Amino acid sequence: MKRYITLLFFGIMNILVVSGCSSDDKGSDEPVKPETLKPVAIEKTNSTKIYVHYMPWFETNESSADKKWGYHWTMANKNPNTVGANNRREIASYYYPLIGPYHSGDKNVIENHLLLMKYSGIDGILIDWYGTYDVNDYRMVKENTEQLIAVLDKVGLEYAIVYEDRTTTNVVNAGKAISVTSAAKTDLAYMEKNYFNNANYIKVDGKPLLLNFGPIVLQTPAEWTNVFNTLTTKPTFLTLWDQSVEAGANAAGEYAWVYKDNSFLTNYYTNTKPKLSVAMGSAYPGFKDFYAEGGGGAAIGWTIEHNNGATLDATLELAKNANLNYLQLITWNDFGEGTMFEPTVEFGYTYIEKVKAFAGVKNTESVFPEISKMYNLRVEKKGNADVQNKLDQAFNYFVSMQPAKAKQLINEIK
């Protein structure tokens, strides 16, 4: 009997070997597909909703149709093809992104940005949006925005649109719309159809949140009433601080921005916020524009020094004392104005570490360097399917709040 069982065992093993299988082999040399995991919310103690203003307007010579770097890296006189000391490209900014200059529609860049945000305690992003028309770089901004939106839900972050109504004048001048209100109506109809009903689109008072950077062109309540009349659901509409009068009853409130010094924020919290149904505060690390040096027009005319993080500390403290429901970080990546929270060569992870502390993130484990390492591996091992699958798995571990597993997997890759 014992001999029969032994022979039977070896017979089965031979069949498995002949058929190309073994007890621990799935019969394929293809990389095992990563396990898909649902995003898990990060635990934090601060109930304030923390959003970050995001610029999706960057292009590289590899991403653009004409093989040229986009204006926001070059302005009028910088050439990122020129590589200087420390392997840094020449860009139109005083500051340099830790991952180098990038294309906003690059999936690896988006993954990097959103994971850094998630582990900072940021709840979502407010996307600077130029509309639907194929004028200037507006189409590229829209395409990059939708690449971004496609990943947001996988990470577990929310989003809303910051509409640039200033674009409507250029749309009319290009002969694409008969009026600025007509252009805005088309843009808003697109938002309602494609964004507003998304599960992770930010809702305030049960309605989709819409910010306007201005108003700059549509400056009367009648114009905004006309624009919103075609929508099924009127959004919770916020203008820039002190400009809601231009939208009249269409505006539910205002959001703060960055200007000259912190006294303007203090005034907003003390005198303006109590009068608003919806008030969104702001925090920023500094402001130093590159326009004059980059040949991109006159300098803004004032600077807010970064002061080794002291400016951010002060604006976060003001936000804390103001007891805000909503806070906008200004900005993730406006390198031309020097307001970026995105990790840079100059400041490292300092700013997002401060956001993490402000948010009261309970998991204090350091993951930012590994998220950056993951991006670098994405680029270095571009053609290696096995490595990319492992990085996909690491991404899934990160979004499901299993950072230890993600870090282990990343650090195993040679």
8 Å CB contact between 339 and 287: yes
Tell me the torsion sign for CA atoms 18, 23, 29, 35: positive
Residue 8: pLDDT over 50:
no
Q: Enter the pTM of the model.
A: 0.91
Token pair listed for 213: 């950077």
Q: For 290-306, how does the pLDDT look when each residue is reduced to its tens digit (9 = 90+)?
A: 999 999 988 899 999 99
Share above pLDDT 90 across residues of the chain, in percent, rounded to a whole number: 86
Q: How confident is the model at residue 342 (pLDDT cuts 50, 70, 90)?
A: very high
Residue 376: pLDDT over 50:
yes
Scored b (16 or more CB within 10 A) or e, 15-38 reads: eeeeeeeeeeeeeeeeeeebeebe
- Across the strands, what pairs with 51? 124, 328
Residue 17: pLDDT over 50:
no
Higher pLDDT among residues 3 and 206, named by residue: 206
Distance, in Å, from the CA atom of 408 to the CA atom of 370, rounded to the nearest integer, reads 10
The answer to whether the bond into 132 is cis (omega within 30° of 0) is: no
State residue 64's pLDDT score: 75
Largest interatomic CA distance in the chain: 95
State residue 390's pLDDT score: 96
Mean pLDDT computed over every residue of the chain? 92
Domains and CATH numbers, the chain: 54-365 (3.20.20.80), 366-413 (no CATH)
8 Å CB contact between 369 and 126: no
Distance, in Å, from the CA atom of 46 to the CA atom of 53, rounded to the nearest integer, reads 19
Token pair listed for 377: 């591996």
State residue 98's pLDDT score: 98
User: Where do we find the tokens 């608003």?
Assistant: 276
Distance, in Å, from the CA atom of 207 to the CA atom of 186, rounded to the nearest integer, reads 19
State residue 30's pLDDT score: 55
Residue 14: pLDDT over 60:
no
State residue 250's pLDDT score: 98
Share above pLDDT 70 across residues of the chain, in percent, rounded to a whole number: 92
Q: For 20-66, how does the pLDDT look when each residue is reduced to its tens digit (9 = 90+)?
A: 333 333 334 455 677 888 999 999 999 999 999 999 999 999 887 78
State residue 31's pLDDT score: 55
- DSSP secondary structure string for all residues of 288-337: ---TTTTTSSS--S--B--GGGHHHHHHHHHHHHTT-SEEEES-SS-TTT
Q: For 359-372, how does the pLDDT look when each residue is reduced to its tens digit (9 = 90+)?
A: 999 977 899 999 99
Residue 110: pLDDT over 60:
yes
State residue 16's pLDDT score: 36
Residues whose CB falls within 8 Å of the CB of residue 405, separated by 6 or more in sequence, listed in order: 394, 397
Q: How confident is the model at residue 88 (pLDDT cuts 50, 70, 90)?
A: very high
